[in-house]
């Protein structure tokens, strides 16, 4: 029987990172992925003369070699930074809500962001500045928490990160109001919320502030050959470190006994002996489909969680340049209302949802498609399972309905004209995400950052969650302790990988 120190199930961002960490820690590691490509959402696909990015809008907190963000530091440690070519994203975002007469384009850089906000919302400077002060403390406190594996010393926390502790239990809206930030500034600052998929009454401030800070502080970068480049670089790194990687290979069960994990069965019946698994998939799938006789305590803890948004993305290859079509920016958020609670409520059904986060890649990377063309991505989320009622026969028309509405909205909100220049189109729905990544109902953001299940308690309970789970089983993905998003998933893989190295030493 094949034997490994650890098996990583799923080659998404978390699994790839965890596998590198395991191999670096001296473990004999096997990474299995059921799809034929690594990366999970971090991949690309070709249509005609275009190569579309599957999911990455921009990677935050990367920075430059002299001003490295946490993600770059991690990539340096993993040994993959130099395998990838990077380009910078020009502006943070443009947010438009026609109904509420908002149209704001926000820059990267804290000073520039604060000043631009002051121009849009006079009198906002002090509170926005304080938001970034708090956000930076959140980042530092997280770095401390990571460095001690979540086992933070409460006294040390209060002494060094007092503001963080005092704001850490609140939602975004609660903190922004406590900072006396003017309403309009709160709305503009809150525009990133749909990237995290929970409205701002629910989403923990620490989570949101951490992400906004990571974007604005050091700007964002992207890989030149789409996120597929990152994924292939990581696979190459795993191999350099002696790890084994198998594509088109699903794990169909995790074998457990009185002493936790004892093996993994692959889809061709191969049994792998191992005492450690890092699952780059949802606890719902792992406990619902891969493990027999799951203890009731785990069933309850899993059922308690709430699925976050189900993804939908339209990809367009256009036969004119962004200039010719009047597409001005790289990244747009188009909302009906800036009230995230009301907006969230309108994102439950196919009929009602018309929110979109839209990207024109050529505005950041002009040569990403042939001269005289450009590429766009339009993404939205569904907060309930409305797609579950779509039968196969109605599927293509449902896709078309949403695609048309996205195009209409983009044209109406921005004045650009794109409809008559579509050379390639591809539409990914919750079914597509369910198919490629196996997530229940096509969820793309893991468990929602609910009020009680936000970033801070998840991080603080990492040890407890592991103890209450199954010995030898850890999770590394958007479903786990760092919540969703590219950098979060890389960090989750980093944490789970390093922790498993420790487990192997401790537990054998």
- The reply to whether 393 sits near another protein by the rule CB under 8 A is yes
Of the residues 268, 292, 367, 371, which one makes contact with another protein according to CB under 8 A: 268
The interface with another protein within residues 211-250 (CB under 8 A) comprises 223-226, 228-229, 232-233, 235-236, 246-250
Q: Which is nearer to another protein, 108 or 466 (CB)?
A: 466
Cβ–Cβ < 8 Å for 125, 223 = no
Cβ–Cβ < 8 Å for 42, 255 = no
Q: What is the DSSP letter of 7?
A: E
Q: Phi/psi at 96 (nearest 5 deg)?
A: -130, 130
Per CB under 8 A, the segment of 90-98, 214-222, 354-362, 388-396 that binds another protein is 388-396
Cβ–Cβ < 8 Å for 233, 63 = no
The burial of 268, by beta-carbon neighbours within 10 Å (0-12 exposed, 13-18 middle, 19 or more buried), is given as exposed
* Nearest CA among 152, 202, 222 for reference residue 449: 202
Cβ–Cβ < 8 Å for 493, 16 = yes
Buried b (16+ CB within 10 A) or exposed e, 138-177: bbebbebbbeeebebeeeebeeebeebbebbebbbbbbbe
Q: What is the DSSP letter of 331?
A: E
Q: Which is nearer to another protein, 101 or 467 (CB)?
A: 467
Q: Kindly state the smallest distance separating residue 441's Cβ from another protein, in Å.
A: 4
- The reply to whether 125 sits near another protein by the rule CB under 8 A is no
Q: Kindly state the smallest distance separating residue 295's Cβ from another protein, in Å.
A: 11
- The reply to whether 118 sits near another protein by the rule CB under 8 A is no
Q: Kindly state the smallest distance separating residue 296's Cβ from another protein, in Å.
A: 5
- The reply to whether 265 sits near another protein by the rule CB under 8 A is no
Per CB under 8 A, the segment of 20-28, 110-118, 429-437, 477-485 that binds another protein is 429-437
- The reply to whether 460 sits near another protein by the rule CB under 8 A is yes
Q: What is the CA radius of gyration of the chain?
A: 22
- The reply to whether 391 sits near another protein by the rule CB under 8 A is yes
Q: Kindly state the smallest distance separating residue 1's Cβ from another protein, in Å.
A: 11
Q: Which is nearer to another protein, 141 or 216 (CB)?
A: 141
Q: Phi/psi at 265 (nearest 5 deg)?
A: -105, 130
The interface with another protein within residues 18-77 (CB under 8 A) comprises 34, 36-37, 44-47, 51
Of the residues 190, 219, 243, 430, which one makes contact with another protein according to CB under 8 A: 430
The interface with another protein within residues 138-197 (CB under 8 A) comprises 154, 158, 162-163, 165-170, 174-175, 178-179
CA-to-CA distance for 22 and 16, rounded, in angstroms? 10
Of the residues 270, 271, 326, 415, which one makes contact with another protein according to CB under 8 A: 270
Mention every residue, 6+ apart, whose C-beta is less than 8 A from residue 206.
138, 142, 164, 167, 168, 454, 455, 456
Q: Kindly state the smallest distance separating residue 102's Cβ from another protein, in Å.
A: 27
The interface with another protein within residues 465-504 (CB under 8 A) comprises 468
Report the DSSP beta bridge partners of residue 87.
222
The interface with another protein within residues 282-311 (CB under 8 A) comprises 284, 287-289, 294, 296-297, 299-305, 310
């Amino acid at each position: 029987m094949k034997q490994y120190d650890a098996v990583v199930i799923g080659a998404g961002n978390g699994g790839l990172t965890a596998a590198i960490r395991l191999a670096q820690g001296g473990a004999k590691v096997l990474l299995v992925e059921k799809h034929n490509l690594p990366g999970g959402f971090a991949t690309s696909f070709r249509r005609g003369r275009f190569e579309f990015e599957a999911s990455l809008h921009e990677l935050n907190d990367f920075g430059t070699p002299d001003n490295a963000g946490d993600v770059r530091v991690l990539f340096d440690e993993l040994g993959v930074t130099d395998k990838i070519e990077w380009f910078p994203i020009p502006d943070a975002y443009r947010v438009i809500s026609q109904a509420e007469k908002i149209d704001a384009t926000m820059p990267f850089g804290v000073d520039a962001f604060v000043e631009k906000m002051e121009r849009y919302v006079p009198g906002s400077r002090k509170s926005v500045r304080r938001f970034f002060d708090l956000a930076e403390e959140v980042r530092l406190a997280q770095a401390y928490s990571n460095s001690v594996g979540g086992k933070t010393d409460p006294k040390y926390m209060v002494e060094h990160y007092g503001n963080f502790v005092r704001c850490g239990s609140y939602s975004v809206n609660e903190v922004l109001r406590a900072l006396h930030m003017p309403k309009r500034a709160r709305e503009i600052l809150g525009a990133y919320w749909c990237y995290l998929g929970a409205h701002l009454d629910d989403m923990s401030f620490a989570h949101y502030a951490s992400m906004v800070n990571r974007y604005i502080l050091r700007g964002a970068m992207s890989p030149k050959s789409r996120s597929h480049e990152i994924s292939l670089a990581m696979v190459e790194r795993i191999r350099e470190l002696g790890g084994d990687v198998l594509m088109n290979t699903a794990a169909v069960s995790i074998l457990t006994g009185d002493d936790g994990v004892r093996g993994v069965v692959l889809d061709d019946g191969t049994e792998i002996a191992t005492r450690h698994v890092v699952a780059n998939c949802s606890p719902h799938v792992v406990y619902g489909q891969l493990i027999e006789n799951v203890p009731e305590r785990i069933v309850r803890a899993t059922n308690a969680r709430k699925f976050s948004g189900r993804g939908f993305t339209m990809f367009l290859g256009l036969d004119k340049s962004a200039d010719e079509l009047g597409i001005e920016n790289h990244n747009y958020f188009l909302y009906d209302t800036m009230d995230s609670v009301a907006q969230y409520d309108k994102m439950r059904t196919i009929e009602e949802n018309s929110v979109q986060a839209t990207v024109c890649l050529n505005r950041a990377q002009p040569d990403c498609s042939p001269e005289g063309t450009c590429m766009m991505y339009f993404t939205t989320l569904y907060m309930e399972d409305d797609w579950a009622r779509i039968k196969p026969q109605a599927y293509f028309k449902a896709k078309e309905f949403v695609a048309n509405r996205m195009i209409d909205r983009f044209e109406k909100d921005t004045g650009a004209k794109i409809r008559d220049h579509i050379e390639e189109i591809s539409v990914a729905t919750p079914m597509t995400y369910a198919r490629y990544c196996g997530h229940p109902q096509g969820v793309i953001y893991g468990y929602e950052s609910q009020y009680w299940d936000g970033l801070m308690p998840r991080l603080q309970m990492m040890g407890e969650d592991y103890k209450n789970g199954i010995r030898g089983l850890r999770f590394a993905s958007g479903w786990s302790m760092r919540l969703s998003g590219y950098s979060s998933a890389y960090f989750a893989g980093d944490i789970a990988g390093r922790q498993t190295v420790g487990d192997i030493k401790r537990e054998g």
